[in-house]
Amino acid sequence: MNLRNLPSVEQLLQASDGLISVYGRTLVLDAIRQTLEKIRVDVRAGAGVPSNEQILTRAQSRLIGWTKPTLEPVINATGVILHTNLGRAPLSKSTIQAMEAASSGYTNLEFDLVTGKRGSRLIHAESLLQKLTGAESAVVVNNCASAVLLVLSALAKGKKVVIPRSQLVEIGGGFRVPDVMKQSGAKLLEIGTTNKVRLSDFEEAIEQTGSLPLIMRAHRSNFKIIGFTEEPELAEIAKVAHSHNGILLDDLGSGTLIDTSKYGMEYEPTVQDSLAAGADVVMFSGDKLLGGPQAGIIIGKKALLDKIKKHPLARAVRADKTRLAGLGATLLHYLKDEAEREIPIWQMISQTREQIWARAEAWVTELGAGAVVAAESTVGGGSLPGESIPTFVLALNPKSPDKFLAKLRQNTPPVIARAENGQVLLDPRTVLPEQDATLLAALKTIL
C-alpha cells in the first residue's frame, strides 16, 4: 500500500496559488481534502498513486462542478414558444437593458424625485397599464398565482365566491384554483356542471352569498372543453353580478394585449376585452403572451385596487425594481405599437411559413445533412391550448434519437430539441436568429 507516498494537504495547497486566486482558499482546501479521500479509497483497492499535478487536476474538476451555475442559457429548438420548463418568454433588448440599468445601481424605487420624500413602488408601470387597457388602477406582484391569492385575500376572505365547476382547474406545478381560494379564506361556491353552466346558475348562487356577491371566472389555461357545452359570455355574467351590486373577478391567466386571430390562431380574449365586458378586477401574467418578465398584473376599479394595495399580503408578493423596470419597458413596446417587431415571442408568432422555410433550408445547406419537413409549433405556457402554428423544421435521422438529444443537451450552451417518429426535429421558430451559428456548430460536432 502506497498511502504514505501521497502528498499532504498543506503541500498541495502551497502548489495551488492559481486555483486559490480563482476559487478562494476555503473551497480549494475542501476540494483537495475530498480528492485525497477518494484517492485513498482507490489506492487501497490497488490503484497507483497519482502525481501532485494529477491530484490538483482532479481537485480542479471538483471545483468546476461545484461552481458551475445550475441556471444557464439554453437554445430552444422545440417549437414551443412559451416553454414553461425553459423559462417562458425571452425578453426584448430594451427590456433587458432596463432591467440591467435598474439592477446595476440605485433607483427611485420608493423615492419621489419631486418632493424629495418617500414615494411608492406601486406607481411604476401603473400609468402604462392604465393607458394600454383603460383600467382605473393597477398593481404589479411577482406572478399571476400570487395576484389571484392577493385579490381573493383582500376582497373575498370569509365570503362565498361563485365559480363554475368547469373552471376549477389545476395548472402546472400543482397550482389548483380551489386550493388557492381556500388559502385566501374565501369560501368556494361551485355552480353548474363540468360541461354546462347557465346564467340561471349564477342567479341562484348569488341568493346564497349574502350581501356584495363575488363571482370569479378562471381561465382554462391548459385544456379545452368541447362538444355538448354551454357557458355565458363574460358581459352577461357581469350584468348579473352588477345587478346585485356584486364584484366580478377575472383570472385571465396568460393575458394578451394583441388579437391572436391575426396569426391564424383561435381568438384569445384580450385584457381590454375583459374590462370592456364589465370585469371589476382582472389578473394576468407578465411572462406569457405579454412577453415580459415574470409578473402578476392586477388591474381594475380604483376603489377595489386601493383595498388590494393596502392588504398585508401585498408586501409579501410585491415586485422588485428589476421586475418593474423590465415590465415597464415591455409595456412601452405595446404603447409604441412595436410589439411584433421588438418582443421575441411576437416575432416568433408572426413569422410566416416562408420565412421559417428559408431559415430551415439554410440550416440544411450549412450542415450538408437533414431535410426540411412541415411540422407544427405551439404557443405553450398555458396559452391557447390545442392551438398550433404551421412551421418547417430541420429533420435529422440519427441511429438513436434519444442519444442524439442527450448529446445536444450536453452542449455548451445546451440545445433542447424534440423527437418524433424516429427523427430529431429542430424548429427555427423558437431559435433566436443570433443563436443560429452556435446551434449549427453544435450539430456539426455531433454529426
Residue 367: which pLDDT band, with cuts at 50, 70 and 90?
very high
More confident residue, 183 or 312: 312
Q: Residue 243 in contact with residue 265, Cβ under 8 Å? A: no
More confident residue, 211 or 395: 395
**Does residue 309 carry a pLDDT above 70?**
yes
Q: Distance between CA 110 and CA 407 in Å, rounded?
A: 48
Asked, as a colleague might, if the bond just before 7 is cis with ω within 30 of 0, I would say no
What is the pLDDT at residue 198?
A: 87
Q: Where are the domains of the chain?
A: 3-67, 75-84+344-446, 90-342
Q: What's the CATH class of domain 90-342?
A: alpha beta
Q: Which residue has the cell 342567479?
A: 203
The secondary structure of the chain in percent helix, strand, coil, rounded to multiples of 5, reads 50, 20, 35
Helices marked H in 218-343 — which ranges?
234-243, 271-277, 302-310, 313-316, 321-335, 339-342
Strands (E), 19-95: 75-76
CATH topology for 75-84+344-446 is Aspartate Aminotransferase, domain 1 (3.90.1150)
Average pLDDT over residues 96-119: 95
115-146 per-position pLDDT tens digit: 999 999 989 999 999 999 999 999 999 999 89
Q: Which CA distances in Å does 118 have to 109, 112, 121?
A: 9, 6, 10
330-350 per-position pLDDT tens digit: 999 999 999 999 999 999 999
Mean pLDDT, the chain, as a whole number? 91
E strand or H helix at 106: none
409-434 per-position pLDDT tens digit: 999 999 999 999 999 999 999 999 99
Q: Residue 15 in contact with residue 56, Cβ under 8 Å? A: yes
Three cell numbers at 166?
368547469
